[in-house]
Amino acid sequence: MTTSNYHVAVVGATGAVGQQMLKTLEERNFPIGKLTLLSSKRSAGKEITFKGETYIVEEATPESFEGVHVALFSAGGSVSKALAPEAVKRGAIVVDNTSAFRMDADVPLVVPEVNEEDLRNHNGIIANPNCSTIQMVVALEPIRKQYGLTKVVVSTYQAVSGAGLEAIEEMKSQTQSILNGEEFTPEILPVGGDKKHYQIAFNAVPQIDLFQENGYTFEEMKMINETKKIMHMESLEVAATCVRLPIETGHSESVYIETEKSGATVEELKELLKTAPGVTLQDDPANQVYPMAADCVGREDVFVGRIRCDLDRDNGYHMWVVSDNLIKGAAWNSVQIAESLVKLQLLS
């Protein structure tokens, strides 16, 4: 088989991430010989244009994966649990963008800039990490390699697009209602708010997903557990606080780290990150240059700035990390995994 005839399936092709996956596949000119677009029964029959050709979206069934080489899933965890094993049975490699398999011991959780070699140990399913985890580990990996890493404390400022199209619409409608002096009833956010929902417009909501018994939300536990798995560091100390802000796209993070080796200067960390894969350094405080969510939209990289030494610990550092949660946080990382499978000759 030549590298120009991979059969690629996109599951959840009509959704926000699925649409971005298709856009990324087209922009990257991924070697597709045949493309199959899949969705729920409700969305089947819709038309989507890819590279100038019109495709009819089909309902996803186990038989949909006959002959598929790689299947990109982004249709919800329940769909992945039901259909990913069926795709694997039929010879496909699944790249799953949900949390369904991320913490399974035999499923690699991959960010290509960090642990691409883990792809060699897959059993048919490869998990795409949580969007907020992805951007953080891309920024931290160069530092971990050079100076070691013992502790990570992160506070996130996450965009509503991470909660889906309905959340975006709720933010916009609430904003308009407030500006018009009209009343409204929150119905969507926080997702996981099984007891009540709150205003997101002109607000900060310190809950993303359901609270766990330990007081952390599921989103926070995802960041904690996924970071340890991706970096192969079970002993790494990680704590997270995840907050939803009224921003449409682009997650921001305040990250504090402690390194094994002390004494690295800010300039040394900047030099590391300047040449790090997938990272763009934007750090010139004298000229007010730093990453912002509004500037990262539509871009593949992770943007890092405001790097500074902790004032009390000589192995402590603070930084600001920003990325487009729909691109690097989802679609691009998934396509990047597929590209790595081609590069490592793991697609057959």
For 232-298, give the DSSP string. T-TT-EEEEEEEE-S-SS-EEEEEEEE-SS----HHHHHHHHHTSTTEEE--BGGGTB---HHHHTT
Q: Which residues on adjacent β-strands are paired with residue 126?
A: 95
Amino acid identity, position 115? N
What is the spatial distance between Cα 246 and Cα 203, in angstroms, rounded to a whole number? 7
Give the SS3 label for residue 204.
Answer: coil
**Range list of β-strands (E), the chain:** 6-11, 32-39, 47-50, 53-56, 58-59, 70-73, 93-96, 125-127, 151-158, 237-244, 251-258, 279-281, 302-309, 316-323
Q: Residue 301 has which token pair?
A: 């990289």
Contact 159, 200 (CB under 8 A): no
Contact 131, 228 (CB under 8 A): no
Give the SS3 label for residue 154.
Answer: strand
What is the spatial distance between Cα 271 and Cα 287, in angstroms, rounded to a whole number? 19
Neighbours of 216 (CB within 10 A): 18
Q: Residue 192 has which token pair?
A: 């996981």
What is the spatial distance between Cα 314 and Cα 297, in angstroms, rounded to a whole number? 34
Residues 6 or more apart whose CB falls under 8 angstroms from that of 30 comprise 6, 8, 335, 338, 339
**Nearest 5°: phi and psi at 254?**
-95, 115
Give the SS3 label for residue 280.
Answer: strand
Q: Which residues are tagged catalytic?
A: 131, 251
